[in-house]
Chains A and B, each alone.
Chain A
Amino acid sequence: DTGVSQDPRHKITKRGQNVTFRCDPISEHNRLYWYRQTLGQGPEFLTYFQNEAQLEKSRLLSDRFSAERPKGSFSTLEIQRTEQGDSAMYLCASSLGPFNSPLHFGNGTRLTVT
């Protein structure tokens, strides 16, 4: 068990640019989650996948955000036309579904939009 891996750890970008983050879940975990965490707050749910199917999306996930999980393995989260309000820690988590299984989080990607 190597844990959930996220890349990059830090990303600084200028407003209006597109960014993409990658998450590699714990192998054999079929559920993958994306959360966003701003300073002094708890993580906020964005979306989750069961295998390759995206089953739920939060209202926080505007149309500038898109997530994919091809082949049910790693996942990517893309933010288009970044805004300063997108600055946050983006956390990925995985679990062994279907239900009542703990979420294991990665160490996140910290995005700073200047």
Chain B
Amino acid sequence: GENVEQHPSTLSVQEGDSAVIKCTYSDSASNYFPWYKQELGKGPQLIIDIRSNVGEKKDQRIAVTLNKTAKHFSLHITETQPEDSAVYFCAASNYGGSQGNLIFGKGTKLSVKP
């Protein structure tokens, strides 16, 4: 089955700096890669996603890149703000295949210092 590894587990940056979180996946059939932000006491909130037919996607300060050959994808946050502090999860799925569920990484705790 699919396995998703996420690095780093913790990340501390100064406000205004960029943050990068990286994930690798094992199942070459995976074709959908969302990123979720989870704040304390809340459920994960989708912030951006990318499908396997696209190499990069951007939404304001957030971007995701996908390298299908290497089976890794990354989240880039520019001009970080204190409110970006949260736990971020990557996930992978083979929608349309036998599995209709997401396999999550273990998360990255991002701290943005003012």
Contact = CB atoms under 8 A, between A and B. Distances in A.
Interface of A: 4, 31, 33, 40-45, 48, 55-56, 58, 91, 93, 99-100, 102-108
A40 B107 contact: yes
Interface of B: 4, 6, 32, 34, 36, 41-46, 49, 51, 89, 91, 95-96, 99-107
Contacts of B6: 42
11 contacts: A4-B43, A41-B106, A43-B44, A44-B104, A91-B43, A99-B96, A99-B100, A100-B32, A102-B34, A105-B44, A107-B43
**Chain A: interface secondary structure?**
loop
Contacts of A31: 100
Contacts, number: 57
Contacts of B45: 105
Contact of B107 (A42, A91, A99, A106): A42
Contacts of A108: 42-43
Given A45-B102, A106-B43, 4 more contacts: A31-B100, A102-B46, A105-B45, A107-B41
Contacts of A42: 4, 6, 89, 91, 104-107
Contacts of B106: 40-42
A107 B104 contact: no
